[in-house]
């Protein structure tokens, strides 16, 4: 393969003590690094509409809550979880966050060596994050352990598979810009970043060091609300020329263009492609055909890849993140743009078949079958 696929031996969770980084045996630098400033735990549950009607904020949106509000929602969830479908667990608690989902997918499903740069608390949620990411083979030597809380998010999934997110981030520990070191980035090929206007200091500094060390940078636009509320900062970041790859979903791309529904889907990539080498727009078709991708490479090549049929979608959590996993696998392996998109459609579809942003073993097998049927390069995984 074109990247290290081995999983380094890592220390047990007892090493998570404030002021320390998570230690691990010496290993080659990960091919792909993810910048997730705060480790995050997702609580994903299928619930009925009666609970959603009692949760403050817009249904389908994302609104921050206090730790007291989060615990209250979790208590309510236990009384309102829907019966599981296809013998799937109705509630799951796992390491979450867009960046974590993407790098975990690259490691567990594609055998690409990955690492995470960030911080986690010295609480039970921090240990859970460590265990989950370590089990998937992610290098945690760049994860700082700090005294305090690990971020959490309740992801409420209705009977139609749509998500309502309630994150608790205000008290979570976070890595600061002055904590980044060149050694964190040296020798890696890619840095994955999620846009957040409140974290611009850390994002700009991490990208600055990454470019100095010769890494390519991938930027996910996070949410249409984020693009709408801080579009000028986003444009300034894109205009630096330091973003090589930009991922957006349909709503985020429309906000970037400031044209609402007035523009046709096939033109949505045009906004980001004027700043980046690659621009990708994902379209999610729930209970239909999974992830559908549009991609453009500079001004030279445009591809449109249909979604993978019969994805049996249950939950959209992580669909775009796992599309990114497949697409980046293709780039690391030197695949043509169209094949990168096809792999992304397969991996994006695989995660929608169960609750949460982590692909289950049986759904990785489903993805490999889809890739094989389309003549795509299968990963060389080490047991």
Per-residue pLDDT of the chain (383 residues; tens, 9 = 90+): 333 334 444 553 444 655 555 544 467 999 999 999 999 999 998 887 778 888 877 777 778 899 999 998 888 887 766 655 554 556 789 999 999 999 999 999 999 999 999 999 999 999 999 999 999 999 999 999 999 999 999 998 887 777 888 999 988 999 999 999 999 999 999 999 999 999 999 999 999 999 999 999 999 998 888 888 898 999 999 999 999 999 988 888 888 776 555 555 555 566 677 889 998 888 754 333 344 455 556 556 778 887 775 556 777 778 889 999 999 999 999 999 999 999 999 999 899 888 788 999 999 999 999 999 999 999 998 76
Contacts 24+ apart (CB under 8 A), 18-22: 18/122, 18/145, 18/146, 18/147, 18/148, 19/145, 19/146, 19/147, 20/144, 20/145, 21/141, 21/142, 21/143, 21/144, 21/145, 22/130, 22/140, 22/141, 22/143, 22/145
Give the model's pLDDT for residue 8. Answer: 41
Backbone angles phi, psi at 353, to 5 degrees: -85, 0
Q: Alpha-carbon distance 42 to 112, whole Å? A: 24
Copy the structure tokens of residue 316: 């959209």
Ramachandran class of 87: left when φ > 0, alpha when ψ lies in -120 to 50, beta otherwise: left
Q: What is the pLDDT of residues 302-347, one digit of tens each?
A: 788 877 755 567 777 788 899 999 999 999 999 999 999 999 999 9
DSSP 236-291: HHHHTT---EEEEEHHHHHHHHT-TTSS-GGGTTHHHHTTSSEEEEEEEETTTTEE
Backbone angles phi, psi at 118, to 5 degrees: 175, -160
Q: Please, which residues bridge with residue 95 across strands? A: 41
CATH of 13-39+96-147+172-373, one of 3.30.70.920, 3.40.50.970, 3.40.140.10, 3.40.1190.20: 3.40.1190.20
Q: Alpha-carbon distance 254 to 32, whole Å? A: 29
Q: Burial-class residue 226 by CB neighbours within 10 Å (0-12, 13-18, 19+).
A: buried
Give the model's pLDDT for residue 293. Answer: 53
Give the model's pLDDT for residue 273. Answer: 78
Residue with tokens 């549009």: 294
Copy the structure tokens of residue 374: 């389309």
Q: What is the pLDDT of residues 91-118, one digit of tens each?
A: 789 999 999 999 999 999 999 999 999 9
Q: With beta carbons less than 8 A apart as the criterion, state whether 165 and 52 touch.
A: no
Q: Alpha-carbon distance 12 to 289, whole Å? A: 40
């Amino acid at each position: 393969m074109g990247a290290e696929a081995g999983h380094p031996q890592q220390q047990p969770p007892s090493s998570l003590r404030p002021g320390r980084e998570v230690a691990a045996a010496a290993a080659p630098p990960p091919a792909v690094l993810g910048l997730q400033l705060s480790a995050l735990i997702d609580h994903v549950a299928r619930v009925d509409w009666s609970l959603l009607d009692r949760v403050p904020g817009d249904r389908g949106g994302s609104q921050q809550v206090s730790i007291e509000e989060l615990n209250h929602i979790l208590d309510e969830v236990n009384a309102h979880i829907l019966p599981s479908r296809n013998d799937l667990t109705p509630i799951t608690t796992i390491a979450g966050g867009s960046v974590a989902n993407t790098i975990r997918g690259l490691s567990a499903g594609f055998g690409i060596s990955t690492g995470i740069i960030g911080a986690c608390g010295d609480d039970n949620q921090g240990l859970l994050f460590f265990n989950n990411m370590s089990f998937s083979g992610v290098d945690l030597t760049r994860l700082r352990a700090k005294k305090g809380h690990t971020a959490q998010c309740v992801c409420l999934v209705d009977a139609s598979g749509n998500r309502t997110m309630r994150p608790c981030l205000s008290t979570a520990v976070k890595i600061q810009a002055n904590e980044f070191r060149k050694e964190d980035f040296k020798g890696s090929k890619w840095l994955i970043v999620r846009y957040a206007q409140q974290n611009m200091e850390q994002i700009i500094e991490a990208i600055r060091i990454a470019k100095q060390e010769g890494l390519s940078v991938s930027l996910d636009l996070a949410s249409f609300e984020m693009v709408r509320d801080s579009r000028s900062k986003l444009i300034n970041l894109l205009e630096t020329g330091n973003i090589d790859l930009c991922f957006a979903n349909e709503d985020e791309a429309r906000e970037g263009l400031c044209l609402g529904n007035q523009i046709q889907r096939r033109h949505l990539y045009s906004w980001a492609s004027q700043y980046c080498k690659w621009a990708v727009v994902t379209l999610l078709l729930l209970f239909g055909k999974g992830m559908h991708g549009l991609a453009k490479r500079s001004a030279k090549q445009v591809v449109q890849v249909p979604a993978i049929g019969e994805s049996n979608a249950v939950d959209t959590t992580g669909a775009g993140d796992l599309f990114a996993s497949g697409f980046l696998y293709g780039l690391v392996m030197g695949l043509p743009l169209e094949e990168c998109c096809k792999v992304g459609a397969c991996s994006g579809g695989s995660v929608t078949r169960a609750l949460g942003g982590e692909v289950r073993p049986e759904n990785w097998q489903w993805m490999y079958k889809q890739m094989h049927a389309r003549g795509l390069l299968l990963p060389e995984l080490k047991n």
